[in-house]
Amino acid sequence: MNVNRVAESLLALSQQEELVDLPKNCPLSENEDEGDSDGERKHQKLLEAISSLDGKNRRKLAERSEASLKVSEFNVSSEGSGEKLVLADLLEPVKTTTSLATVKKQLNRVKSKKVVELPLNKEKIEQIHREVAFGKTSQVLSKWDPIVLKNQQAEQLAFPLGKEQPAIAPIEHALSGWKARTPLEQEIFNLLHKNKQPVTDPLLTPMEKASLRAMSLEEAKMHRAELQRARALQSYYEAKARREKKIKSKKYHKVVKKGKARKASKELEQLQKVNPTVALEELEKFENARMMERMSLKHQNSGKWAKSKAIMAKYDLEARQAMQEQLAKNKELTQKLQVASETEEEEGGTEEVEELLVPHVVNEVQMNVDGPNPWMLRSCTSDTREAATQEDPEQLPEPATHEVSESEGERPVAEEEILLRDFEERRSLRKKSELNQDAEPAGIQETKDSSSQEVLSELRALSQKLKENHQSRKQKASSEGTVPQVQREEPAPEEEAPLLLQRPERVQTLEELEELGKEDCFQNKELPRPVLEGQQSERTPNNRPDAPKEKKEKEQLIDVQNLLTTQSPSVRSLAVPTTLEELEDEEERDQRQMIKEAFAGDDVIRNFLKEKREAVEASKPKDVDLTLPGWGEWGGVGLKPSTKKRRQFLKAPEGPPRKDKNLPNVIISEKRNIHAAAHQVQVLPYPFTHHRQFERTIQTPVGSTWNTQRAFQKLTTPKVITKPGHIIKPIKAEDVGYRSSSRSDLSVIQWNPKQITTRHSKELKKNSRLSSWKSDSQEF
Partner 1 sequence: MGEMETAPKPGRDVPPKKDKLQTKRKKPRRYWEEETVPTTDGASPGPPCNKKNRELRPQRPKNAHILKKSRISKQPQVPKKPQEWKNPESQRSLSGAQDPFPGPAPVPVEVVQKFCRIDKSRKLPRSKAKTRSRLEVAEAEEEETSIKAARSELLLAEEPGFLEGEDGEDTAKICQADIVEAVDIASAAKHFDLNLRQFGPYRLNYSRTGRHLAFGGRRGHVAALDWVTKKLMCEINVMEAVRDIRFLHSEALLAVAQNRWLHIYDNQGIELHCIRRCDRVTRLEFLPFHFLLATASETGFLTYLDVSVGKIVAALNVRAGRLDVMSQNPYNAVIHLGHSNGTVSLWSPAMKEPLAKILCHRGGVRAVAVDSTGTYMATSGLDHQLKIFDLRGTYQPLSTRTLPHGAGHLAFSQRGLLVAGMGDVVNIWAGQGKASPPSLEQPYLTHRLSGPVHGLQFCPFEDVLGVGHSGGVTSMLVPGAGEPNFDGLESNPYRSRKQRQEWEVKALLEKVPAELICLDPRALAEVDVISLEQGKKERIERLGYDPEAKAPFQPKPKQKGRSSTASLVKRKRKVMDEEHRDKVRQSLQQQQQQQQQKEAKAKSTGARPSALDRFVR
For partner 1, the binding residues in 700-739 under the rule CB under 8 A are 700-701, 704-711, 714-715
CA pair distance 620, 654, nearest whole angstrom: 8
Give the distance, in angstroms, between the CA of residue 532 and the centroid of all CA atoms in the same chain: 52
698 binds partner 1 (CB under 8 A): yes
Q: What is the pattern of x (binds partner 1, CB under 8 A) and - over residues 90-129?
A: ----------------------------------------
User: What residues numbered 672-691 form the site for partner 1, per CB under 8 A?
Assistant: 672-684, 687-691
Residues 547-566 binding partner 1 (CB under 8 A) are 555, 560, 563-566
From 211-219, 282-290, 412-420, 666-674, span contacting partner 1 (CB under 8 A): 666-674
Asked whether the beta carbons of 13 and 47 are under 8 A apart, the reply is: yes
Q: Which is nearer to partner 1, 106 or 190 (CB)?
A: 190
**Residue from 650, 666, 721, 728 that binds partner 1 (CB under 8 A)?**
666
Pick between residue 144 and residue 286 the one whose CB is nearest to partner 1. Answer: 144
Q: How many residues bind partner 1 (CB under 8 A)?
A: 82
Q: Which is nearer to partner 1, 245 or 710 (CB)?
A: 710
* Cα dist from 360 to 246, 345, 365, 366, 380, whole Å: 52, 16, 9, 10, 10
Among 178, 315, 634, 780, binds partner 1 (CB under 8 A): 178
Distance separating alpha carbons of residues 575 and 183, to the nearest angstrom: 77
Least distance (Å) between residue 148 CB and partner 1: 13
Query: Cα 23–24–28 angle (5° rounding)?
Result: 125
Using CB under 8 A, which residues numbered 608 to 647 contact partner 1?
A: 608, 611
| Helix/strand/coil for 107 | helix
Q: Which is nearer to partner 1, 682 or 747 (CB)?
A: 682
With CB under 8 A as the contact rule, the residue among 51, 423, 694, 757 that binds partner 1 is 694
**Phi/psi at 482 (nearest 5 deg)?**
-60, -45
- The least CB distance from residue 677 to partner 1, in Å, is 5
Decide whether 19 or 681 has the Cβ nearer to partner 1: 681
In the region spanning residues 567 to 606, those forming contacts with partner 1, defined by CB under 8 A, are 567-579, 582, 586, 590, 593, 596-597, 600-601, 604-605
Find the shortest distance in angstroms from Cβ 183 to partner 1: 15
Least distance from partner 1 to the Cβ atom of residue 712, Å: 8
Q: Which is nearer to partner 1, 357 or 598 (CB)?
A: 598
Residue 207 or 576: the one with the smaller Cβ distance to partner 1 is 576
Q: How many CA atoms lie within 13 A of 76 on its CB side?
A: 13
Which residues lie closer than 8 Å to 469 by C-beta, 6 or more apart?
415, 510
d(CA 369, CA 278): 25
* Part of the chain binding partner 1 (CB under 8 A), chosen from 129-137, 285-293, 505-513, 607-615: 607-615
Q: Which residues pair with 157 in a beta bridge?
A: 720
- Classify residue 216 by burial, with Cβ atoms within 10 Å: 0-12, 13-18, 19+: exposed
| Residue 612 Cβ vs partner 1, minimum distance, rounded to whole Å | 8
Minimum CB distance to partner 1, residue 694 (Å):
6
Site track for partner 1 across 35-74, x = CB under 8 A? ----------------------------------------
Binding map of partner 1 across residues 269-298, x = CB under 8 A, - = no contact: ------------------------------
Does position 754 interact with partner 1 (CB under 8 A)? The reply is: no
Q: Determine the Cα–Cα distance for residues 3 and 1; give it in Å rounded to an integer.
A: 5
| CA angle, 627 then 631 then 634, to 5° | 110
C-beta of 98 vs 568, nearer to partner 1: 568
Distance of alpha carbon 740 from alpha carbon 626, whole angstroms: 73
Ramachandran angles phi, psi of 651, nearest 5°? -125, 120
Of 60, 47, 122, nearest in space to 751 by CA: 122
Cα–Cα distance, 103 to 106 (Å, whole number): 5
Pick the closer one to partner 1 by CB: 274 or 683.
Answer: 683
- Rule CB under 8 A: choose which of 695, 763, 776, 779 binds partner 1: 695
**How far out from the chain centre does Cα 180 lie?**
58
Instruction: Enumerate residues 642-661 that contact partner 1 by CB under 8 A.
Output: 660
C-alpha closest to that of 142 among 773, 775, 771, 765: 775
| Long-range CB contacts (within 8 A, 24+) of 637-645 | none
Question: Which residue, 569 or 753, has its beta carbon nearer to partner 1?
Answer: 569
Q: How far is the CB of 702 from partner 1 (least distance, A)?
A: 9
Determine the longest span between alpha carbons in the chain, in angstroms.
Answer: 186
Give the C-alpha separation, 363 to 347, whole Å.
Answer: 12
Per-residue burial over 8-36, b = 16 or more CB atoms within 10 Å of its CB, e = otherwise: ebeeebbebbeeeeeeeeeeeeeeeeeee
Q: Does 663 bind partner 1 (CB under 8 A)?
A: yes
Nearer to partner 1, 344 or 586 (CB): 586
For residues 363 and 354, is the Cβ–Cβ distance under 8 A? yes
Least Cβ distance, residue 703 to partner 1 (angstroms): 8
Does residue 780 sit in helix, strand or coil? Answer: coil
**Rounded Cα–Cα distance for residues 417 and 466 (Å):** 11
Closest CA to 86 of 17, 141, 151, 29: 17
Q: Tell me whether residue 519 or residue 582 sits nearer to partner 1 (CB atom).
A: 582
Cβ closer to partner 1: 439 or 574?
Answer: 574
Residue closer to partner 1, measured from CB, 40 or 660: 660
- Angle formed by the axes of helices 122-141 and 758-779, nearest 10°: 20
Q: Which is nearer to partner 1, 341 or 565 (CB)?
A: 565
Provide, rounded to whole angstroms, the least separation between the CB of residue 603 and partner 1: 8
Q: Kindly write out the interface string for residues 126-165 of this chain, putting x where it contacts partner 1 by CB under 8 A and - elsewhere.
A: ---------------------------x-x----------
Can you tell me whether residue 228 is helix, strand or coil? helix
**Backbone phi, psi, residue 498, to 5°:** -60, -40
